Structure 1
Amino acid sequence: MTDPLHLASFFQNSAVQTALWIGALAAILNGTIGVFTVLRQHSFAGHALGDSSSAGGSLAIFAGISALWGFLAMAWLAALAMAVLGLRRAQERDLATGIVLGATLGLSALLLYFDVTLTRASSATVDVMFGSIFALAPQLFWLIVALVGVAIGLVLVLYRPLLLIAADPDLGRAAGLPVRRLEILYLLLLGTAAALSALSIGVILATALLLGPAASGLRLARKPWQSFFYAQAIALLAVFGGIYLAFSSYYWSGGTSWPVSFFVVLLILLCYLATAAWGPARGLQR
């Protein structure tokens, strides 16, 4: 049973309030972009952009600026590099993704070494790889609101073209759509979602927030537009539940809090397993 005092302290804690707001924005964007990613079978690209952003986060810590700028910059650069190196065929796309991923992870290893040895930022590796959502600055909120607002606005305006090229790029070309420009835009949106996921639950686990809710939402939806709302709802449930469980773990684990990222990914996994058992009977057919 929930302790009323415990629940009150949860909502009154300023770090928790910041984590809830920023986590909610990250969940909404990842739930939205994740649906396109699953439909396009771009899971590897989503994973790679999340991991690639680690180099930017490591550089930001070394430079003494907010990790958000580093995550975003490196995710966008990686997205553009993937678009330039190979975008048309699946084989080229996967090869380009692997090359970019390997290069950025190597750079990340070097920068994390500099963080620990030169700046004495002993927690840099944990913060980048597993997130530190309770340590996010409240000043980031409005910047993230703007980022998510622009991204969601673009999705709303270009919903049908993005959905069409996700299902069949060749059909989009036949319809006269600027497929290459739309795919580059999609990759930049994917990079933004991956960067916010990395900021919230860490680079290593960022893929879970991007793909898990979207895959579950597609299993539950009967129509394409429904999958976005299901994915967003599952992502919000996982983030809010993960933050609450991490906060509560302080009281039942002897005064040490468990990582938020662990609980978020655990809840996403449980939702995915639940929809795997129930969803195929009513889910959206590709």
Structure 2
Amino acid sequence: MITWITQPLMYEFMQRGLLAAVIVGLVCSIIGCYVVLRSMAFLGDALAHAILPGIAIAYLFGGNLMIGALVASILVALAIGFFSKHGTIREDTAIGVLFSAALALGIAIISTIRTYAVDLSHILFGDVLGVSSSDLIQISILAFVIIMLVLVFYRPFKIISFDPVLATTLKLPAEQLRTLLLILISLTIVTSLQTVGIGLVAAMLVTPAASAFLLTNRLSRMMLVSAGIGVLSSVLGLYISYYVSIASGSAIVLVSTLIFIFSYLFSPRKGILRVS
């Protein structure tokens, strides 16, 4: 058993990959609690695909792909907030329009790149074992910023998520806080690109938090449980991918999904097979 655990860690790429997976699992799970509570799962998936133009443009000009993704995700998040803040159109409508436009632009740009299938595959599908030291530094910095902002704005985010009337009474800047939350979700998605890729990042945002929602009844506990599930899924998924030789991102998401199914069935509070 000890050999099974320690053998993969003999390789530096596994050490970097494991650390990156743990960081991503932690950050996605914490931000994912707001995504689940505010019914923003569609937003997470939309933002993940909407960063394609930034990645494609950065690739064309030989720039940093994560910076390109970061710029694109923040621009799309701000645009969603701008179009929906006056109530002229609903937020989900703004998301649908901008998501489709950004995705179409990204596909149009990528289609001009003859080698995109090879060079951008790690962004589309994730490659946690290909995380370099510089990638790990970038992921760590983004994760630190996200967690610090969540801690600083924990109470305002909680109020606008659960009690908009109280938020109005306290004169909280609800629109600005909502925009900040959109930006944090965007940063989380960018942080997760190398680990699980665009195709699966929405699952890491939603699944651990959904499991925690079934197991707890307070936001603080939900975040702790979700973080634990995210980290556990990342570690077990990475080990499974190493020994079974499957894509690490998919293994991480599948483990997280199994935990969700178990929580759905046997949750002491809401499980359909719970013991009364």
TM-score, normalised by the number of residues in structure 1: 0.88
Number of equivalences: 271
Counterpart for residue 78 of structure 1: 76
Contact 2:29/2:209 (CA < 8 Å) preserved in 1? yes
Does the alignment pair 1:278 with 2:276? no
Structure 2 distance, partners of 1:101, 1:79, is: 10
Gaps of 5+ in 1: 250-256
Mapping 1:7-18, distance limit 5 Å: 7-18=5-16
Return closer, same or farther for 1:64/1:248 CA change in 2, 3 Å cut-off. farther
Contact 1:67/1:199 (CA < 8 Å) preserved in 2?
no
Matched, 1:243 2:238: yes
Deviation at 1:238, TM superposition (A): 1.3
Which whole-Å CA distance do the structure 2 matches of 1:90 and 1:41 have between them?
A: 20
CA contact (8 A) 2:83 2:89 kept: no
**Residue 41 in structure 1 maps to residue 39 in structure 2:** yes
Q: 1:17 to 1:125 in 2, by over 3 A?
A: same
Aligned counterparts of 1:205 and 1:223: Cα–Cα separation in 2: 27
Measure how far apart 1:271 and its partner are.
0.8
Report the AA paired with residue 57 of structure 1. I
Over the matched positions of the two proteins, sequence identity in percent amounts to 25
1:151-198 Cα deviation digits (max 9, x unpaired) = 111111111110110113333112211111111111100111122223
Partner of 2:274: none
Distance in 2 (CA, whole Å) between partners of 1:25 and 1:155 is 15
Q: 113, 118, 124: which is aligned to 1:123?
A: 118
C-alpha distance in structure 2 between counterparts of 1:269 and 1:215, whole Å:
10
Q: Does 1:206 align with 2:201?
A: yes
Please give the alpha-carbon distance, in whole angstroms, between the structure 1 residues aligned to 2:258 and 2:86.
35
Partner of 1:253: none
- Distance in 1 (CA, whole Å) between partners of 2:38 and 2:111 is 36
Other-structure match for 2:91: 93
Distance 1:72 1:101, change over 3 A: same
Q: Is the 8 A contact 2:264 2:270 kept in 1?
A: no
Name the amino acid aligned to 1:165: I
Q: Which residue in 2 is equivalent to 1:60?
A: 58
**Partner in structure 2 of residue 221 of structure 1:** 216
Question: 2:246 aligned to 251, 254, 258, which one?
Answer: 258
Asked if the contact 1:47/1:207 (under 8 Å) is kept, the reply is: yes
- Residue identity matched to 2:269: A
Instruction: Supply the RMSD in Å over aligned alpha carbons.
Output: 2.0
SS in 1 for 2:199: coil
Conserved 8 A contact 1:129-1:202: yes
Partner of 2:128: 133
Cα distance, 1:123–1:32 mapped onto 2, change above 3 Å: same
Deviation for aligned residue 1:50: 1.1
Equivalent AA in structure 2 for residue 97 of structure 1? I
Going from structure 1 to structure 2, the CA distance change for 1:100 and 1:162 (only over 3 Å counts) comes to same
Q: Distance in 2 between matches of 1:216 and 1:46?
A: 17
Q: Residue 172 of structure 1 aligns with which residue?
A: 167
Given candidates 246, 250, 255, the residue that maps to 1:267 is 255
Change (3 A) 1:157 1:95: same
Q: Distance in 1 between matches of 2:88 and 2:19?
A: 37
Aligned match of 1:51: 49
Bigger shift: residues 56-65 or 218-227:
56-65
Alignment partners' CA distance in 2, 1:60 and 1:24: 27
Q: Distance in 2 between matches of 1:10 and 1:53?
A: 33
Which of 138, 144, 149 matches 1:154?
149
Change (3 A) 1:37 1:237: same
